[in-house]
């Protein structure tokens, strides 16, 4: 079985399984049929979930490459969280712990953290190391979303 996220229904508390393809969608609770909002939190990705989410994403994906020992990464965490919430339904946000998943970091040639990448249709459209604010991250995603809309 592929990657899925658990989204708890705000109306009845039922836990609903959401596949990678539908993370950015507004769904319905399988029990009470109430609306389930799109993913609005960063997803901690591993090697497997990363590839499945990126492959199935219908919206731009912001990837935050970070490590627990990195002070600037810790400072970026609240900004990344805010972007995930602000862009829910229009983008997905993944966090990749470079200590736990160095192969992913190597694949994206991450040499310094924090490092941010934006992917559209599985391809990197922007990448930048260093601490940036939520406005910049959101701008990247909005620009990538507009570009992707023109391509599709």
Q: Which residues are identified as catalytic?
A: 70, 73
Q: Which residues contact 9 (CB under 8 A, 6 or more apart)?
A: 15, 16, 29, 31, 32, 34, 36
- Cis peptide leading into residue 114 (ω within 30°): yes
| Pairing verdict, β 61-66 and 92-97 | parallel
Phi and psi torsions of 4, nearest 5° = -150, 150
The helix (run of H) or strand (run of E) holding residue 128 is strand 123-129
């Amino acid at each position: 079985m592929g990657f899925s996220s658990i989204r708890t229904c705000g109306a009845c508390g039922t836990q609903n399984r959401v596949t990678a393809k539908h993370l950015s969608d507004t769904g319905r609770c399988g029990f009470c049929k109430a609306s389930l909002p799109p993913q609005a939190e960063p997803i901690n990705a591993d090697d497997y979930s990363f590839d499945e989410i990126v492959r199935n994403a219908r919206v731009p994906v912001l990837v935050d490459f970070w490590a627990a020992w990195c002070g600037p990464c810790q400072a970026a965490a609240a900004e990344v969280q805010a972007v995930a919430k602000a862009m829910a339904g229009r983008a997905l946000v993944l966090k990749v712990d470079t200590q736990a998943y160095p192969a992913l970091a190597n694949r994206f040639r991450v040499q310094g953290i924090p490092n941010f990448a934006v992917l559209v249709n599985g391809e990197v459209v922007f990448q930048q190391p260093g601490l940036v604010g939520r406005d910049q991250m959101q701008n990247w995603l909005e620009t990538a979303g507009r570009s992707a809309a023109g391509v599709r």
